[in-house]
Structure 1
């Protein structure tokens, strides 16, 4: 098994469920079962020894759910084969793109005609709805904290990928971890996102400093956001940048968008003072 495939399996099982891509324990041993997120049908996939220099082989359906319509499994297999044919490139792993395209596209035609305006309205409603949900959410399971009062950035869409950032004052690494836990537990839309990139910087009254970040599968993104915070000299604040992947790769452009929405959240949250000469200065927020 190639290192690329090992890394891909690890990434997919960390982004989605830990059992999303598992070995079929068969001979040949490169056959895997892909349990597609939010779909009852699972697929059998063979990864040749030369993968990703050669494409994976979609062998067929492993199983389908009790409520699946007749022929759905076959349609899904054909749909995934078509995605592999379009997205695979020599030397590049492709299964993440396959999963995201299935999430975005399979069955969409039966439910939507256009959806372009509806998507924008959906995220506008989402931004408004978060404030309402915060008021309703006075407790959440075992997470014993007040509902965090996040400041949200504007929503940005690039090639069907949607980005939004939220920031909040934070005084300790433990509190930062609780805020993230609360966010994921209380917001289904955030929980189902492709990536939730986090970064925080904390300075105690005694001068002890903490800083950390998490890419959540978006390689190097957390470090870039943390570097942005360092350049802006921001302290006692954390940010979560959420991305819903839209099926088209952005390349390095995604890092610019991620940093842009993060900065927008910092400005909207009052952590940054805009100066007349266009430069920025830090602003403490309690």
Structure 2
């Protein structure tokens, strides 16, 4: 066991309490390698009742991240589906925060705590049935495929002309609805103005649960600007910006609107947010469908 791993074990148990991270005695005799250690992690501070089985390969932390093997049953009365949710969140967190040569458990635990807290907060909204029904009525007007750009009603508010939005098709899952819109922009100020115009001119968007934004702009003299905003949907803005980086999109902004449907989606919501954004980029002609492979490629 490396000194870095020993120090990390001591630090995690010092910060979050004894027995937060302990050896998995059941795996000691079956481990395929004497230099591979398996531990049980109890996520701290009462954010969840789930415990996870982690395996530290010989190369950790220099060349390999810890492997999240699965959940560890403790006989607790966890809410159905919460263990699978926490497992997926922690795997995502480890993948995001790990850097070769650096221990990563503290950062992964803190990120998962924030995500689980956000999910718990979202669950509190499920008693607003009347609001959900109103949202469904408002959303229905977006279902017509020819409405790529919706005219605004901000006349007289001094917000300038209607931004040239291109809309995605609505994505609906467990009553939550996601719609993305993108537009060309040439400065951060213009991106902020477009978002302000959207919120001022469209009450359906203004009343939505989240409006997640990201933009990337090439400025003069080799400068560049990029930024994002979660609008309460923890980590969603950063993932949206990362998508734009992967697709090499510039001088463009995207807004993904979510109306919460009363049922938690867990990590699945990130795939829906990015999926809606991709569809808007395709419809705007920024990227084109790769029909044979089922993916998308940047338009030349």
2:167 aligned partner: 152
2:251 aligned partner: 236
1:101 aligned partner: 126
Q: Which has the larger radius of gyration?
A: 2
CA distance in 2, matches of 1:282, 1:175: 24
1:261 aligned partner: 276
Deviations 1:122-151 (A, max 9, x none): 5342355967851x63625132x2111210
- Whether the 8 Å contact between 2:142 and 2:170 is mirrored in structure 1 is no
1:79 aligned partner: none
Q: Does 1:137 align with 2:153?
A: yes
Q: Does 1:188 align with 2:214?
A: no
SS at structure 1 position matched to 2:227: strand
CA RMSD of aligned residues (A): 3.4
Shift of the 95–233 alpha-carbon distance from structure 1 to 2, 3 Å rule, reads closer
CA distance in 2, matches of 1:206, 1:277: 39
5+ residue gaps, structure 2, are 1-44, 49-78, 83-112
- Whether the 8 Å contact between 1:172 and 1:202 is mirrored in structure 2 is yes
- Whether the 8 Å contact between 2:154 and 2:201 is mirrored in structure 1 is no
The number of residue pairs the alignment matches comes to 191
Q: Give the structure-1-normalised TM-score.
A: 0.57
- Whether the 8 Å contact between 1:152 and 1:166 is mirrored in structure 2 is yes
Shift of the 277–185 alpha-carbon distance from structure 1 to 2, 3 Å rule, reads same
5+ residue gaps, structure 1, are 1-49, 54-85
Q: 2:213 aligns with which of 198, 221, 225?
A: 198
1:220 aligned partner: 235
Distance apart, 1:240 and its partner CA: 0.2
Deviations 1:6-40 (A, max 9, x none): xxxxxxxxxxxxxxxxxxxxxxxxxxxxxxxxxxx
CA distance in 2, matches of 1:106, 1:221: 27
Distance apart, 1:96 and its partner CA: 4.0
1:47 aligned partner: none
Q: Give the structure-2-normalised TM-score.
A: 0.55
